[in-house]
Chain A
Amino acid sequence: MAEDKNLERRQRFAARVRSLMLRLLVVWFVVSFGFGILLVEPLNEIRIGGYKLGFWFAQQGSIFIFIALIFAFSSVMTRLERDYVDREKESGK
Chain B
Amino acid sequence: MSLTVLTYLVVGFTFALYIGIAIATRASSTKDFYVADGGVHPVANGMATAADWMSAASFISMAGLIALSYNGYGGSVFLMGWTGGYVLLALLIAPYLRKYGKYTVPDFIGERYYSDTARVVAVICLILCSVTYVIGQMKGVGVAFSRFLETDYETGLGIGMFIVFFYAVLGGMKGITYTQIAQYVVLITAYTIPAIFISLQLTGNPLPQLGLGSTLAGSDVYLLDKLDMILMDLGFQEYTTTLRGSTLNMMAFTASLMIGTAGLPHVIIRFFTVPSVAAARRSAGWALVFIAILYTTAPAIAAMARLNIVDTMQQSDGQALLIEEKPAWFENWEQTGLLQVEDLNGDGRIEYTADPETNELTKLDNDILVLANPEIAKLPNWVIALVAAGGLAAALSTAAGLLLAISSAISHDLLKSTYMPSISEKAELRASRIAMAVAVLGAGYLGLNPPGFAAGTVALAFGLAASSLFPALLMGIFARRVNREGAVAGMLAGISVTLLYVFQHKGIMFIPGTSFLGGMSPNWFFGIEPNAVGVLGAIVNFVVAFTVSRLFAPPPSEVEELLEFLHEPSSVASQAPLGAAH
* A residues adjacent to B (C-beta < 8 A): 10, 13-14, 17, 21, 24-25, 28, 32-33, 36-38, 40-41, 44, 48-52, 55-56, 58-60, 62-64, 66-67, 69-71, 73-74, 77-78, 80-82, 84-85, 88
Give the one of B83, B84, B292 with max A CB within 10 A: B84
Report A-chain residues with C-beta under 8 Å of the C-beta of B120: none
Which of A32, A44, A49, A73 is in CB contact (< 8 Å) with B281? A73
Interface residue? B240 (CB, 8 A): yes
- Classify chain B's interface size: 35 or more
Report B-chain residues with C-beta under 8 Å of the C-beta of A77: 95, 278, 281
Which of B80, B213, B292 is in CB contact (< 8 Å) with A58? B80
In contact, B87 and A70 (Cβ under 8 angstroms): yes
Q: Give 17 A-B pairs besides A36-B254, A41-B241, A70-B86 with Cβ atoms closer than 8 angstroms.
A: A21-B91, A21-B92, A37-B251, A44-B241, A60-B296, A60-B299, A62-B79, A62-B83, A63-B295, A67-B285, A67-B292, A70-B87, A70-B90, A74-B90, A74-B281, A84-B572, A85-B569
Closest Cβ of chain A to B162, distance in Å, is: 36
Interface residue? B224 (CB, 8 A): yes
Closest Cβ of chain B to A65, distance in Å, is: 9
Closest Cβ of chain A to B186, distance in Å, is: 22
Separation of A79 and B255 alpha carbons in the complex (Å): 31
Which of B76, B84, B214, B250 is in CB contact (< 8 Å) with A28? B84
Closest to A13 in B: B569
Closest Cβ of chain B to A5, distance in Å, is: 15
Which of A24, A58, A64 is in CB contact (< 8 Å) with B91? A24
Closest to A14 in B: B567
Separation of A69 and B84 alpha carbons in the complex (Å): 10
0/1 string, B104-115, CB within 8 A of A gives 1: 000000000000
Closest to A25 in B: B91
Separation of A67 and B358 alpha carbons in the complex (Å): 45
Closest Cβ of chain B to A34, distance in Å, is: 10
Report A-chain residues with C-beta under 8 Å of the C-beta of B250: 37
Give the one of A28, A60, A85 with max B CB within 10 A: A60
Given the interface pairs A36-B76, A59-B299, A63-B292, the reply to whether A50 lies near B215 with Cβ below 8 Å is yes
